[in-house]
Amino acid sequence: MPDFRAEDYRLTGEQRTSQFGAVSREPNEGAQLIENARASQAGVVSFLSSTEREGRWQVPRRFRALAVLGNVELDLRMAEVGYGLTVIEAVAVLGNVEIKAPPEITVECDGDSLMGTFNLKYEGRASPSMASREKIVRVTGSAYAGAVTVIVKGPDENFLTRLTGGRWRSEP
């Protein structure tokens, strides 16, 4: 049997056949597949700490949030949520996971709790009838002596006050 040579198995732009008959692929095809898999799922872990995601960020198709004696806050109101189904698995063990979603996204919750809470709330003018079925966020998971709270609400009510630095008032 001939000796192993690394150059026979390197990925190059040209089609190269190894001594065992394996055909190489395009130069970065393997790296692209790994990158696509990484973009489709992600997560955060908060152990005795706090983790926040807010502002503009991309929500992967599958996201896991784990809070153990800690706090995880996910704000989806300005996040890029893809069309179709996005699943967020939230687990709180003596901790808290809070997810804020805009009213135009359909939110489904299915979770269990043991000495804790797993809630879906609609605040302000938000209601389930405002949501379209184009973007669906399904929150699943568990709360063990902790809390998983999903809040559907629009922009903050004090938006104009923050925008103008407190100079705007609704008084006549």
Q: How far is CA 24 from CA 17, 30, 36, 97, 130, in A?
A: 7, 10, 20, 45, 51
| CB-based burial, 33-50: b 16+ in 10 Å, e otherwise | eeeeeeeeeeebebeeee
**pLDDT computed for residue 40 by the predictor:** 79
Going by C-alpha positions, the residue among 91, 43, 87 that lies closest to residue 67 is: 91
pLDDT (tens, 9 = 90+) of the chain, 172 residues, equals 455 454 544 444 444 444 445 444 445 555 455 445 445 788 899 999 999 999 999 999 999 999 999 999 999 999 999 999 999 999 999 999 999 999 889 999 999 999 999 999 988 777 777 778 899 999 999 999 999 999 998 765 555 555 666 555 555 4
123: Cβ–Cβ under 8 A, 6 or more apart, which residues?
151, 152, 153
How many whole angstroms separate alpha carbon 5 and alpha carbon 146? 55
The one-character DSSP state at 128 is G
pTM of the complete model: 0.68
81: helix, coil or strand?
A: strand
Q: Decide: 96 and 151 in contact? Cβ < 8 Å.
A: no
**pLDDT computed for residue 94 by the predictor:** 96
* Tokens 């979603």 belong to residue: 101
139: helix, coil or strand?
A: strand
